[in-house]
Structure 1
């Protein structure tokens, strides 16, 4: 029973520490709980070296996942950490139940922190792009030509219905509103949709 309590404390304090940018009380509790878990399982002879190796390697992989594209390392690391708990002692089914209870409580804590308290993980702010690539933020996937609407341009080639017009010395691909427009004719730019410029003969 004490092992279950320690496992719950380890998982809950680990989740709480994730929402802090520096070592908090949750982090200190996590360290103490891990130490107590290791001491207790070591004294009873249930802790094996394979469990320690899996736990350490799993934590390292999950940390590396924060700086590597993809979720493979994180998934493998999490599986290794979970396996390290399952391999403690000889009763795997009992440890599986302990692990399931701890994970369920940790997930509930995560949901409460995010949904009800609006918390976010500070570390993710440094490795995840949060800038908006909207037009309002100054980003555009093409040259914005919306300012050309209503301007007068000159056809450089015949428009059948597509061709080239010039405006202030710049060549612009354009299409006519429907009718054929000959070369060297003045046209009015009536619509701009992305890179599509529609003109009408004057």
Structure 2
């Protein structure tokens, strides 16, 4: 944002002037529009703008104003911010000293005999650092979305809800302990709870169609994620870089969730190897009644080829009524809405596979 860059640029210039550092170089570290020419004038290294360079060459001549081309920092050309190594920072008078250990700093300030005390991180600080790591927080956010998505698509299972809520709890808990959500101690949890409540209402009270409540729930969850990532130090200008970075992380998690959902729900059940995996999971051993086993109520003899009505949407799991009883079933192929006629095509153990009757 132009106003934000202008403000930070002025701060960098003021700080560099105060410490007798090259102001042009400091400004170029935050503003990619600044172009710098490194030259030597009578052996002295100078940093000039293109206009100043042309003026000096006209005034002193090209034999005295020599352009430096070796070991220049990234960003001296227009369009990139300047990035310097430690050696380059010392070369352009941006640093006074270069040290590799903290012990080497003490003599520079007359503290040769001072003792150094290192305070180790506690287990809680290590936990917070782990939970707020960029990759870990993105993983928790993605797992949270995946868990909630699977719970929405297969309501009543519970596993997706447990994984999703636990992942989101760790995501928000870590950022709260790190002080990254103090400003929104009420707003972020309120948006999170509101989004979850709306999704629960959409799935369990209006399961026939995913409508306005579901969309509002997802929007509320997304807003809580973005605000938690931005943190307590909110920028004053809407649309600032902090918001864009947070939106990128949330969008990445949404994309991963969508891809994983398509793969696990639509593509994998259609693959041949999945049929072999399911076949191996079916119980084939004999369980005699004299050994204490009892025949399960759901058997191929009682339900195979029977037709019934779906009670909930099958995405792909759900419930269907056969006669006066309701069973857990799984749709083969496409999802099936509630109230549609279905036919049992396969029974494997307690897994009842159905397809829509046209």
Q: For each residue in 1:162-202, what CA deviation from the matched residue of structure 2 results, as whole angstroms up to 9, or x when unmatched?
A: xxxxxxxxxxxxxxxxxxxxxxxxxxxxxxxxxxxxxxxxx
Paired residue secondary structure (1:46):
coil
Match of 1:55 among 192, 209, 219: 192
Q: For each residue in 1:66-124, what CA deviation from the matched residue of structure 2 results, as whole angstroms up to 9, or x when unmatched?
A: 32367111111111111111111143222211111100011001111232234934357
**In 1, Cα distance between equivalents of 2:175 and 2:246:** 12
**In 2, Cα distance between equivalents of 1:58 and 1:123:** 23
Alignment of 1:49-198 (within 5 A): 49-66=186-203, 67-68=205-206, 71-88=211-228, 89=231, 90=234, 91-118=242-269, 120-123=315-318, 128-131=338-341
**In 2, Cα distance between equivalents of 1:34 and 1:45:** 17
Paired residue secondary structure (2:222):
helix
TM-score, scaled relative to structure 2: 0.33
**In 2, Cα distance between equivalents of 1:21 and 1:110:** 18
Aligned 8 A contact 2:265 2:316 in 1: no
- In structure 2, the partner of 1:140 is none
> How big is the alpha-carbon RMSD for the aligned residues of Structure 1 and Structure 2?
3.0
With 82-91 and 119-128 compared, the bigger mean Cα shift is at: 119-128
Q: For each residue in 1:40-80, what CA deviation from the matched residue of structure 2 results, as whole angstroms up to 9, or x when unmatched?
A: 11112222221110111111112212323671111111111
Runs (5+) with no aligned partner, structure 2: 1-133, 235-241, 270-313, 322-336, 343-356
Runs (5+) with no aligned partner, structure 1: 138-202
**In 2, Cα distance between equivalents of 1:73 and 1:55:** 14
Paired residue secondary structure (2:340):
coil
Task: Give the number of the structure with larger relative contact order, counting CA–CA contacts within 8 Å between residues 6 or more apart.
Answer: 1
**In 1, Cα distance between equivalents of 2:173 and 2:210:** 36
- In structure 2, the partner of 1:4 is 138
Q: For each residue in 1:139-164, what CA deviation from the matched residue of structure 2 results, as whole angstroms up to 9, or x when unmatched?
A: xxxxxxxxxxxxxxxxxxxxxxxxxx
**In 2, Cα distance between equivalents of 1:37 and 1:23:** 20
- In structure 2, the partner of 1:158 is none
**In 2, Cα distance between equivalents of 1:124 and 1:107:** 24
* Pair 100,70 (structure 1): closer, same or farther in 2 beyond 3 Å: closer
* Pair 20,108 (structure 1): closer, same or farther in 2 beyond 3 Å: same
**In 2, Cα distance between equivalents of 1:124 and 1:79:** 28
* Pair 83,117 (structure 1): closer, same or farther in 2 beyond 3 Å: same
TM-score, scaled relative to structure 1: 0.55
**In 2, Cα distance between equivalents of 1:129 and 1:83:** 34
**In 1, Cα distance between equivalents of 2:192 and 2:320:** 26
Paired residue secondary structure (1:117):
helix
Aligned 8 A contact 1:12 1:106 in 2: yes
- In structure 1, the partner of 2:158 is 23
